[in-house]
């Protein structure tokens, strides 16, 4: 393995280098709505920085192509460095190209910038896999990169960045969106976890429950989100009109109530499926052994079945949370709040930066949830 | 003491166990043997009430198992099954400490007991207690299974084909281990196997089963000498019955003992006192001799075994 | 033929609802004004919705299967870890975010929607293709090769039929997601059954919302029952226990 060239690194490296030069690194916009002018790598960063980057990238390409004992360690270091300095590239771009005169002018990340983020990140993943590095190293590298990006954001050097300008215009709304988004998604997942657990237990005990329950939850999963949200509006407004108490609780045709209901409905399938499979997949010999040694049903459930089922249940929670975070964004259409509000407002006003302010945090939330729950599940699996 | 009186078990149309009566004396090892599906496991599982019996009664130390509290009954019976049934999410220590834990022994005493058992089973290596079942070899895992069954010092040991999934060499080592434990602890044991050689090696009494019925219940030697039916005769293998017989007897019981131990003649191959006549015979055949010196544990020659004596023992 | 009865029934219900909706609504809710969405006919929206999904799904499926095959061949195996990583990380990105992010890059309208659907719909198919090809016991392909089949024959005659059910399940997931995402595509200017819903939400017209929602739901159910039937058909055709190739 070590003696042959790594084609993945070579291909991705070449792609990075090409796209970085062909696509715009950054964009300067005169104001919020008007499309801006793009700047290529050379113009954006100047000769010194862009040549340094290119030489570095060629070296990475070369390391991928030749056999060397430490190449994956070296590659990891090089790619990490690139990801660390990337946000400061934006600062450099702003300093060089942003006209000082206009307070409305703003910088935006170009397609080339995104390529410089994603392709090296993929290469880094490949290197870590080749090094057979554990989750620990990956998390440390991630923490380093996040620290550098946070520093760049808080330094004030890239305040001209469009998405940060959008944020600066509504920090309170942003915080409210974050808490709404999390509250809605997490409470839906928590409620569906309890429901699914009860359902799964009933299905384990009664065979006759299995088909109908699976039938209903799979059906719910098939209904498109927009349709389900829409279908809930009429009955809920009718209910709330009939019972004033519901209205006082804030339950109406639009808002958090239909959103929560729909999210719970969607969460049931992955949760029920995983919990049921996990609980029924425990090898019967283990249960027999435990029972034969004198464990009672309670002990058997809490000490054997549940711990053995836990990784699969966690996997169900992971899938459900990711799905709920995405669907919560859609729920903004029926007035449930969250990051979707920015997305749809932005789309309505053709303000792309506002769309980004909604979409990027949504993606980030999903990725973080994925990382955290995967890590949790894998620690549970390796040291049960 | 375990007594089965006319015990039967029916699964729908199938009569898996048909009116079995037998007595296992305290400290004895009873081996249930028979082909797959003949009802051995079902019989065993009725003793610790994993299955209720449909007819007859089972007494443990004179008390009907159905009158004993289920938990109490099982906690007093070690249970070992094929493929170990070790909990994959628990360490060796926790697996072995399962029953003491259920009995609410103090932590320190459990730890002590675990160490003691690991020593008994030759598993007392550094760090072994913290391993997980998937890190063990088949033989090690099965030993841990046995240790777990012995943990709370139960009066009775129930074993269902515990060595069935092991390779021949490991199985033999574990059988020897069983013999040693039997001598050391003297547990009343019901052991299920489909391997007649394993049964002959380990049993004080063998219960031969066929299609749910008990065909013969006797000492190994009697099973070999006087098979009750054609089925038993085929099971023990009428062809090499004689050889199997020699496998049941110890050299020490058949040899001619010297008055005083003598220093050993190192050039001459010999056998040890506790080895079987079968092993002595094999060595004689190989060496082409008529007799062999017998050594004690220290290597001193304490007697001599001759072909004639094996012949006498084999009948 | 019995397996096609359910999807056909749903199809009839879907078409009838789309066609009769304008006449039906005033009967169900008499005496209310502006009850029926007028900008486009429901049938046209339905047809356009289906077309967007079909275009993106067919191209995406072809690309995904081709990619999945490529990275499982000896000469492409280097890329397998990378591609499966992309497939699994990509699926954690919410579809609505993909849709939203398509706009700054590609603009508004049908085209960007199809592009987003294509990219996102590719992932489940890719993942299942990899899983399906990976789950075939090595003994099967080895035996096929040992009997003198060429690599292409092994692929077409053993690997794809055996992996087919899993791949089909991936396509089903992908299409289900895409029907839902296409409906949201209305917010970025695609013309779909999401239009009445969005228009209804913006104007506070519950009737519009209901009309759109019912039709979207029926479309999803029809498609799902079609895939259900397809999966049964496939299972009957290749009762795929390994070894009975
Ligand atoms: N839980 C059960 N349900 C139905 N039939 C069973 C069950 N357990 C065992 N049997 C049947 O009882 C017979 C004896 O089984 P078992 O005691 O397991 O045999 P052995 O252990 O001797 O191989 C077999 O015919 C088996 O099919
Ligand atoms: Mg058995």
| Cβ-based contacts of A288 with chain B (< 8 Å) | 50, 81, 85
- Name B214's bridge partners: B209
Pocket of ligand 1 (CB under 6 A): B 11, 14, 16, 34, 36-42
Q: Can you tell me the distance from the alpha carbon of C69 to that of C163, in angstroms, rounded to the nearest whole number?
A: 11
Pick from B77, B85, B132: which is nearest to A285 by CB?
A: B85
Q: Can you tell me the distance from the alpha carbon of A314 to that of A319, in angstroms, rounded to the nearest whole number?
A: 9
Q: What is the pLDDT of residue B99?
A: 92
- pLDDT band with cut points at 50, 70 and 90 for residue A131: confident
Q: What is the pLDDT of residue C206?
A: 85
Q: How many CB atoms lie within 10 A of CB A280?
A: 13
Quick one: average pLDDT of A333-359? 91
pLDDT per residue as tens digits for the range A19-52: 999 999 999 988 877 778 899 999 989 999 999 9
Q: Which residues contact A1 (CB under 8 A, 6 or more apart)?
A: A130
Q: Can you tell me the distance from the alpha carbon of C46 to that of C234, in angstroms, rounded to the nearest whole number?
A: 28
* Closest by CA position to B151, among listed B185, B125, B177: B185
> Which two tokens mark A58?
């060629």
Are B83 and A293 in contact (CB < 8 Å)?
A: no
Q: Is the Cβ–Cβ distance between C71 and C77 less than 8 Å?
A: yes
User: SS3 for chain A, per residue?
Assistant: CCCCCCHHHHHHHHHHHHHHHHCCCEEEECCCCCCCEEECHHHHHHHHHHHHHHHHHHHHHHHHHCCCCCHHHHHHHHHHHHHHHHHHHHHHHHHHHCCCCCCCCEEEECHHHHHHHHHHHHHHHHHHHHCCCCHHHHHHHHHHHHHHHHHHHHHCCCCCEHHHHHHHHCHHHHHHHHHHHHHHHHHHHHHHHHHHHHHHHHHHHCHHHHHHHHHHHHHHHHCCHHHHHHHHHHHHHHHHHHCHHHHHCCCCCCCHHHHHHHHHHHHHHHHHHHHHHHHHCCCHHHHHHHHHCCCCHHHHHHHHHHHHHHHHHHHHHHHHHHHHHHHHHHHHHHCCCCCHHHHHHHHHHCCHHHHHHHHHHHHHHHHHHHHHHHHHHHHHHHCC
Residues 189-228 of A with CB under 8 A from C: 219, 221-228
Say yes or no to pLDDT of C32 above 80. no
pLDDT per residue as tens digits for the range A139-173: 889 899 999 999 999 988 888 888 898 898 899 99
Total tally of structural domains belonging to chain C: 1
- pLDDT band with cut points at 50, 70 and 90 for residue A1: very low
Distances in whole angstroms, Cα of residue C44 to Cα of each of C39, C51, C210:
10, 10, 17
Residue nearest to atom 27 of ligand 1 (CA): B37
- Give me the total of CB pairs closer than 8 Å, taking one residue from chain A and one from chain C: 134
**For ligand 1, what atom is nearest to the CA of residue B161?**
21
| Cβ-based contacts of C104 with chain A (< 8 Å) | 352, 355-356
Q: What is the pLDDT of residue C242?
A: 44
Q: What is the pLDDT of residue A112?
A: 92
Q: How far off is chain B from A308, nearest CA to CA, in Å? A: 7
Quick one: average pLDDT of A245-253? 79
Residue tagged 């004396």 (tokens): B25
Characterize the bridge pairing of strands B2-11 and B14-24.
antiparallel
Q: Can you tell me the distance from the alpha carbon of B173 to that of B186, in angstroms, rounded to the nearest whole number?
A: 19
Give me the CATH number covering residue C108. 1.10.3720.10
Would you list which residues of chain B are within 8 Å, Cβ to Cβ, of chain A? 45, 48, 50, 71, 73-75, 77-79, 81-90, 98-99, 102, 132, 148-149, 158
Q: How far is the CA of B42 from the centre of ligand 2 (A)?
A: 7
Is the minimum CB–CB distance between A90 and chain C shorter than 8 Å? no
Q: Is the Cβ–Cβ distance between A290 and A300 less than 8 Å?
A: yes
Looking at the domain assignment, is residue C244 inside a domain?
no
The chain-wide mean pLDDT, for chain A, equals 90
* Closest by CA position to B178, among listed B167, B162, B165: B162
| Nearest ligand (C-alpha, residue B81) | 2
Q: What is the pLDDT of residue B241?
A: 81
**For ligand 1, what atom is nearest to the CA of residue B40?**
22
Q: What is the pLDDT of residue A361?
A: 94
Q: Which residues contact A72 (CB under 8 A, 6 or more apart)?
A: A127, A130, A131
* Closest by CA position to B205, among listed B4, B24, B7: B24
Q: What is the pLDDT of residue A104?
A: 79
Q: Which domains does chain B have, with CATH numbers?
A: 2-238 (3.40.50.300), 251-313 (3.90.1280.20)
Q: DSSP letter for B276, please.
A: B
**Do the chains B and C touch each other, judged by at least 3 C-beta pairs below 8 angstroms?**
no
Are A222 and C85 in contact (CB < 8 Å)?
A: no
pLDDT per residue as tens digits for the range C94-114: 999 999 999 888 889 999 999
| Nearest ligand (C-alpha, residue B10) | 1
Q: Can you tell me the distance from the alpha carbon of C144 to that of C163, in angstroms, rounded to the nearest whole number?
A: 15
- How big is the CA angle at B52 (ends B48 and B55), to the nearest 5 degrees? 115
> Which two tokens mark C169?
């399940």
pLDDT per residue as tens digits for the range A271-311: 999 999 999 999 999 999 999 999 999 999 999 999 999 99
Q: How far is the CA of A80 from the centre of ligand 2 (A)?
A: 58
| Nearest ligand (C-alpha, residue A288) | 1
Residue nearest to atom 7 of ligand 1 (CA): B11
| Nearest ligand (C-alpha, residue B211) | 1
Are A285 and B50 in contact (CB < 8 Å)?
A: no
| Cβ-based contacts of A333 with chain C (< 8 Å) | 184, 187, 198, 201
Residue A327, class by beta-carbon neighbours within 10 Å (0-12 exposed, 13-18 middle, 19+ buried)? buried
Q: What is the pLDDT of residue C244?
A: 37
| Cβ-based contacts of B158 with chain A (< 8 Å) | 292
Distances in whole angstroms, Cα of residue A31 to Cα of each of A103, A161, A242, B10, C106:
9, 12, 49, 85, 20
Looking at the domain assignment, is residue C242 inside a domain?
no
**For ligand 1, what atom is nearest to the CA of residue B44?**
17
Pick from A289, A304, A308: which is nearest to B81 by CB?
A: A289
Q: How far off is chain A from C83, nearest CA to CA, in Å? A: 10
Q: Which of A84-88, A196-200, B55-59, C204-208 has the lowest mean pLDDT?
A: C204-208
Q: Which of B9, B10, B11, B46 to mutate to test the pocket of ligand 1 (most atoms within 8 A of CB)?
A: B11
Q: Which of A182-191, C142-151, C174-183, C223-232 has the lowest mean pLDDT?
A: C142-151
Q: Can you tell me the distance from the alpha carbon of C30 to that of B282, in angstroms, rounded to the nearest whole number?
A: 103
Q: What is the pLDDT of residue C107?
A: 87
Residue B145, class by beta-carbon neighbours within 10 Å (0-12 exposed, 13-18 middle, 19+ buried)? buried
Q: Which domain range does residue C190 map to?
A: 41-237
Q: DSSP letter for C94, please.
A: -
Q: Which domains does chain A have, with CATH numbers?
A: 7-166 (no CATH), 171-382 (1.10.3720.10)
> Which two tokens mark A226?
């927009």
Are A356 and C197 in contact (CB < 8 Å)?
A: no
Are A327 and C100 in contact (CB < 8 Å)?
A: no
**Least CA distance to C178: which residue of chain A?**
A224
Q: How far off is chain C from A11, nearest CA to CA, in Å? A: 10
Chunked into runs of 10 residues, chain B (315 residues) has average pLDDT values of 94 93 95 94 93 93 92 91 88 93 93 93 89 92 93 93 89 90 92 93 94 94 91 85 83 85 77 86 87 84 86 67
Q: Write down the pTM of the prediction.
A: 0.85
**Least CA distance to A307: which residue of chain B?**
B89
Q: How many CA atoms lie within 13 A of B17 on its CB side?
A: 27
Residue tagged 């294509």 (tokens): C118
Looking at the domain assignment, is residue C232 inside a domain?
yes
Q: Can you tell me the distance from the alpha carbon of A25 to that of A297, in angstroms, rounded to the nearest whole number?
A: 63
Q: Can you tell me the distance from the alpha carbon of A55 to that of A60, in angstroms, rounded to the nearest whole number?
A: 9
Reported residue count of chain A is 384
Q: What is the pLDDT of residue B214?
A: 95
Q: Which of A3-7, B219-223, B282-286, C5-9 has the lowest mean pLDDT?
A: A3-7
pLDDT per residue as tens digits for the range C172-195: 999 999 999 999 999 999 999 999
Are A292 and B87 in contact (CB < 8 Å)?
A: no
Q: How far off is chain A from C207, nearest CA to CA, in Å? A: 9
Is the minimum CB–CB distance between C119 and chain A shorter than 8 Å? no
């Amino acid at each position: 393995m070590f003696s042959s060239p790594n084609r993945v690194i070579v291909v991705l490296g070449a792609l990075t280098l090409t796209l970085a030069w062909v696509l715009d690194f950054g964009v300067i916009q005169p104001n919020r709505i008007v499309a801006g002018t793009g700047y290529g790598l050379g113009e954006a960063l100047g000769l010194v920085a862009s040549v340094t980057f290119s030489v570095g990238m060629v070296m990475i390409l070369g390391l991928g192509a030749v056999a060397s004992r430490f190449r994956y360690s070296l590659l990891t270091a090089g790619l990490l460095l690139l990801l660390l300095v990337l946000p400061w590239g934006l600062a450099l771009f702003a300093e060089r190209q942003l006209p000082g005169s206009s307070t409305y002018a703003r910088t935006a990340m170009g397609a080339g910038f995104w390529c410089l983020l994603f392709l090296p990140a993929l290469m880094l993943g490949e290197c870590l896999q080749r090094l057979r590095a554990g989750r620990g190293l990956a998390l440390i590298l991630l923490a380093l990169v996040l620290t550098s990006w946070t520093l760049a954001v808080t330094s004030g050097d890239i305040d001209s960045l469009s998405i940060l300008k959008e944020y600066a215009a509504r920090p309170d709304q942003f915080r409210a969106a974050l808490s709404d988004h999390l509250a809605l998604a997490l409470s839906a997942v928590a409620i569906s976890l309890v429901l699914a657990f009860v359902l799964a237990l009933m299905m384990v005990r009664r065979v006759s429950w299995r088909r109908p329950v699976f039938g209903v939850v799979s059906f719910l999963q098939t209904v498109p989100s927009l349709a389900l949200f829409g279908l809930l509006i009429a009955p809920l407004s009718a209910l709330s009109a009939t019972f004033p108490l519901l209205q006082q609780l804030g339950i109406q045709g639009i808002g958090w109530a239909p959103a929560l209901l729909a999210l719970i409905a969607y969460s049931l399938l992955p949760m029920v499926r995983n919990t049921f499979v996990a609980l029924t997949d425990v090898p019967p010999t283990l249960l027999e052994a435990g029972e034969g040694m004198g464990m009672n049903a309670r002990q058997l459930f809490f000490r054997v079945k549940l711990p053995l089922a836990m990784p699969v249940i966690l996997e169900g929670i992971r899938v459900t949370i990711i799905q709920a975070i995405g669907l919560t964004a859609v729920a903004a259409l029926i007035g449930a709040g969250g990051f979707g509000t920015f997305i749809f407002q932005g789309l309505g006003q053709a303000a792309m930066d506002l769309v980004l302010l909604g979409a990027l945090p949504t993606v980030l939330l999903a990725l973080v949830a994925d990382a955290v729950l995967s890590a949790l599940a894998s620690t549970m699996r390796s040291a049960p | 003491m375990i007594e089965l009186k006319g015990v039967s078990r029916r699964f729908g149309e199938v009569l898996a166990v048909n009116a079995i009566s037998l007595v296992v004396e305290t400290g004895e090892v009873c081996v249930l043997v028979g082909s797959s599906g003949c009802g051995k496991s079902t019989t065993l599982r009725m003793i610790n009430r994993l299955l209720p019996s449909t007819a007859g009664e089972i007494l443990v130390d004179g008390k009907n198992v159905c009158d004993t509290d289920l938990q109490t009954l099982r906690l007093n019976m070690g249970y070992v099954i094929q493929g170990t049934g070790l909990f994959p999410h628990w360490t060796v220590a926790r697996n072995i400490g399962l029953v003491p834990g259920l009995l609410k022994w103090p932590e320190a005493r459990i730890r002590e007991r675990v160490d003691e058992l690991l020593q008994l089973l030759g598993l007392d290596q550094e760090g072994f207690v913290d391993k997980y079942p998937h890190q063990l070899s088949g033989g090690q895992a099965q030993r841990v299974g046995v240790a777990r069954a012995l943990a709370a010092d139960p009066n009775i040991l129930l074993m269902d084909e515990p060595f069935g999934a092991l390779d021949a060499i490991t199985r033999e080592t574990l059988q020897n281990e069983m013999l040693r434990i039997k001598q050391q602890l003297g547990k009343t044991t019901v052991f299920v196997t489909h391997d007649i050689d394993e049964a002959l090696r380990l049993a004080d009494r063998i219960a031969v089963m066929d299609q749910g019925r008990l065909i013969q219940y006797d000492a190994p030697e009697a099973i070999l000498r006087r098979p009750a039916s054609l089925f038993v005769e085929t099971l023990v293998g009428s062809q090499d019955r004689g050889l199997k017989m020699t496998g049941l007897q110890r050299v020490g019981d058949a040899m001619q003992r010297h008055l005083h131990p003598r220093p050993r003649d190192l050039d001459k191959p010999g056998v040890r006192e506790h080895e079987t006549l079968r092993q002595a015979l094999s060595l004689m055949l190989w060496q082409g001799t008529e007799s062999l010196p017998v050594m004690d544990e220290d290597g001193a020659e304490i007697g001599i075994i001759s072909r004639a004596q094996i012949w006498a023992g084999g009948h | 033929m019995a397996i096609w009865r359910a999807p056909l029934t749903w199809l009839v219900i879907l078409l009838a609802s789309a066609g009769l909706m304008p006449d039906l609504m005033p009967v169900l809710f008499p005496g209310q004004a502006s009850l029926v969405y007028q900008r486009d006919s429901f049938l046209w929206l339905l047809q356009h919705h289906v077309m967007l999904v079909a275009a993106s799904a067919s191209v995406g499926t072809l690309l995904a299967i081709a990619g999945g095959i490529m990275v499982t061949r000896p000469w492409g195996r280097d890329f397998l870890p990378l591609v499966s990583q992309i497939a699994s990380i990509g699926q954690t990105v919410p579809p609505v975010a993909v849709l939203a992010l398509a706009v700054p890059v590609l603009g508004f309208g049908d085209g960007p929607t199809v592009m987003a659907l294509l990219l996102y719909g590719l992932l489940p198919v890719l993942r299942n293709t990899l899983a399906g090809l990976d789950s075939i016991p090595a003994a099967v392909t080895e035996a096929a090769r040992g009997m003198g089949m060429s690599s292409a024959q092994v692929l077409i005659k053993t690997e794809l039929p055996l992996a087919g059910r899993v791949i089909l399940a991936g396509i089903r997931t992908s299409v289900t997601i895409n029907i839902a995402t296409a409906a949201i595509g209305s917010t970025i200017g695609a013309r779909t059954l999401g239009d009445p819903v969005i228009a209804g939400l913006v104007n506070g017209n519950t009737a519009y919302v209901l009309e759109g929602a019912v039709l979207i739901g029926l479309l999803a159910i029809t498609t799902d029952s079609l895939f259900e039937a397809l999966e049964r058909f496939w299972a009957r055709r290749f009762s795929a226990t390994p070894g009975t190739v």
